[in-house]
A = this chain, B = another copy of it.
Amino acid sequence: MPSVSHKGMSMPESPIRKLVPYADAAKKKGVKVYHLNIGQPDIETPKQFWDKLKTLDIKVLEYCPSNGIASYREKFAGYYNRIGIPVNATDFMITEGASEALSFAMMSCLDQDDEIIIPEPMYANYIGFAAAGGIRVTPIPTSIENGFALPPIEDFEKAITLKTKAILICNPNNPTGYLYSKEELLTLRNICLRHDLFLFVDEVYREFLYGGKTFFSALNLDGMDKHVVVFDSISKRFSACGGRIGAIVTRNKEVLAAALKFGQARLSPNSLAQIAGEGLFDLGKDYYDGIIAEYQKRRDVIVKLLNEMPGVSCPNPGGAFYAVASLPVKDSDHFCQWMLENFSHNGATVMMAPASGFYSTTGSGKNQVRIAYVLNTENLTAAAECLDLGLKEYAKAMVRELVN
């Protein structure tokens, strides 16, 4: 019998999705599951999107150009220019979500066994995309005590080898919610210029900023047009995760040309979500203000409740809608599974993403979880109560296990 590849065997399971069978089993038993494991917002996809679908007058659902529908790229670029990032529609390649954008950019810029430096904890799927491309991830640890800020420049310098081709950050960060400052981006600029590295920045959460913070795009770094590759998506901005529309944005034409060849091989991104979603870029300040106010309220509720729990610590995120908390447990993989298999309170339990999968360094983050605050404050409060009681019950269960 033929066997699957080593690559197939060594691909990491998604920490965000690997516990899904346990959640499904809990639901089958009638237990309600609060999903804090996945960045699937409950915010409604704007009405404009659904309205557009109702008025389509199309006969054939055709392939679109491999780099996306021209008018869609124009609209996307228009939104960038309005928020102060001067780019052209020709700087965009539309992809199946930011996921495909990251895959294509990695393969376009890094060869087998080349290295990409990523501060950890990192978005788990970066590890997956790198593994699929045979690319090595060099993690640089950040610490929960320091709120997951950018590590000192020396840590980067030490990690750089002849094989290093790029640095990747997510800003604001998934999973930590950390918002990188302009100063931190200037530091990265210096490193990339000195060592001739690409600077990959995942900016899909750039609108999600709290406490009056401001965002600085890597595309606005001076003298970095050839180095900076930005990833974007409509998933979170317009609560349209299932649309799978993202983009590579870069002024480096060689990178776009290489990415386009990967894009041609898969023919085109899906047309429908582009056609229906084009108008979303016209949404104004009111739309964003409303959503950001809602997420800020949620952040304030969940971070406060988490830090009130005995033995729990959670830095206050500056952006995105995630937080990484350390819990009084030895193995959050085990705890998260236990919550789904063995615990409920008022007929409900909580699903979280064990943080170990967000670390490329084996053994790191074992007592941490990522929490996506994508539920309304009422549900978040109920989920927090559930988690608090679950932690206490789990501690007792662990003691019982030791005794027996």
Contacts and interface: CB of A to CB of B under 8 A. Distances in A.
A114 B5 contact: yes
A125 B65 contact: no
B266 A96 contact: yes
Nearest to A38: B63
Interface string A111-134: 110100000000001001100101
A100 to B, nearest CB: 7
Interface string A55-70: 0101111111110000
Interface residues of A, number: 87
B17 A45 contact: no
A50 to B, nearest CB: 7
A107 interface: yes
A69 to B, nearest CB: 10
Contacts of A58: 45, 50
Interface stretch (A73-81, A151-159, A238-246, A320-328): A238-246
A8 interface: yes
Given A2-B227, A226-B1, A11 B262 contact: yes
A268 interface: yes
Nearest to A275: B242
A197 interface: yes
A128 B60 contact: no
A254 interface: yes
Contacts of A6: 111
Contacts of A262: 8, 11, 128, 132
A4 B43 CA distance: 39
Contacts of A108: 4-5, 7-8
B265 A99 contact: yes
A97 B258 CA distance: 21
Interface in A1-49: 1-9, 11-14, 16-18, 20, 38, 40-45, 49
